[in-house]
Amino acid sequence: MKSYREELWFETKTRRAYLNITPQVEAVLKASGVTEGLVLVNAMHITASVYINDDEPGLLRDFDDVLERLAPHDARYRHNETGEDNGDAHVKRQLMGREVVVAVTDGRLDFGPWEQIFYGEFDGCRRKRVLVKVIGE
């Protein structure tokens, strides 16, 4: 069995952003040489997320609207009493999830219809990384 690891780095210009990272993950998969196995993609920061969904602009705005209603940036968070201002970003990350695992079949990500991998940023304007770990044959 092969194992391959690579990091992707992102620095958004806005506090919140939703980036389709499917092409970058596909490139890592290709570099790994794995044709049958699994790909783990996870955010390596506690105020960012990795998730799978449709790349439709209205849906991305809906995610942002719902997350802001559930965990508004300007709400009172105990975490922010430590001098931070990102309590909302921690909650948003918990709601959207830390990682995804995708099957690899015939050297390709084995997606359902419309599925794409996204990086969700909830406390941006600084560099953060995503781990891509490929295992298989």
What are the extents of the domains in the chain? 2-136
Amino acid 6: pLDDT: 98
When pLDDT is averaged across residues 23-51 and rounded to a whole number, the result is 98
Alpha-carbon distance of 19 to 108, in angstroms, equals 20
Amino acid 1: pLDDT: 95
What integer best gives the mean pLDDT of the chain?
Answer: 98
Provide the token pair at 82: 């430590």
pLDDT in tens, 55-98: 999 999 999 999 999 999 999 999 999 999 999 999 999 999 99
Taking the model in full, what pTM does it have? 0.96
- Is the four-CA dihedral 41, 45, 51, 54 of positive or negative sign? negative
Answer yes or no: CATH 3.65.10.10 is held by domain 2-136: no
